[in-house]
Amino acid sequence: MDVWVWAVLLLLVGMLLVLLDIFLPSGGIFAFLAVCAIIWAIGMGFSQGSALGLAVLAGAVFGTVIAVVLALRYWPSTSIGKQMLLQIPTSEEVLPENSPRKALEGLVGCVGRAKSPMLPSGIVAIDGAALDAISEGGAIEAGQSVRVIEVRGNRVVVRGIEERSTGPEEDPLAQPIDWDNTDPFPRPPA
């Protein structure tokens, strides 16, 4: 076989050893062998002429960079990459178990009354407790009914509820589809 074939084979072996060093922890043994194989390939290329030596050198530089970039792109999804890299914790793992946020999240969907004008923040009373709240949209007047829609930080986000009187003179079938009736089964008149 020609010397240039051996130089290219040594270069490929060096690239393979670079990949092995990234994927398999060897304490630097694969890295040392990769550097030796690449330097030997460059030396063999220059022994045949400067054109072949420069071609092998360029192949070593670009090939090593491409091999490292591709290997590091897929390395975090390997089993050893998952063990070595930290995973992003979820909010359930970070928040303490007895935090007030858990109690606030239990209020989502509850109805209360605004104790102060909310422009956009203020105080609401829900189940007898006064809470800091933020209105989702526009201003909410004091005394208006509100519904908790979500929790942000240590505040609840509320939306104002329009209060309508439902008397026997109103036809329930004439209401729009998105009509929000807080009591779907009203008590029959006595």
Q: What is the pLDDT of residues 31-71, one digit of tens each?
A: 899 999 999 999 998 998 899 889 989 999 998 888 888 87
pLDDT at 190: 61
Answer with the residue of higher pLDDT: 9 or 91: 9
Spatial distance between the Cα atoms of 168 and 170, rounded to a whole number of angstroms? 6
DSSP 28: T
Taking the C-alpha atoms of residue 71 and residue 168, their distance in angstroms, rounded to an integer, is: 73
Look up tokens 């102060």; give the residue: 116
| Distance in angstroms (rounded) separating the CA atoms of residues 152 and 101 | 9
What pTM was estimated for this model as a whole? 0.43
Average pLDDT on 146-163 reads: 87
Residues 6+ apart with CB under 8 A from 80: 23, 24, 25
pLDDT band for position 183 (cuts 50, 70, 90)? low
**CA–CA distance, 99 with 2 (Å, rounded to integer):** 73
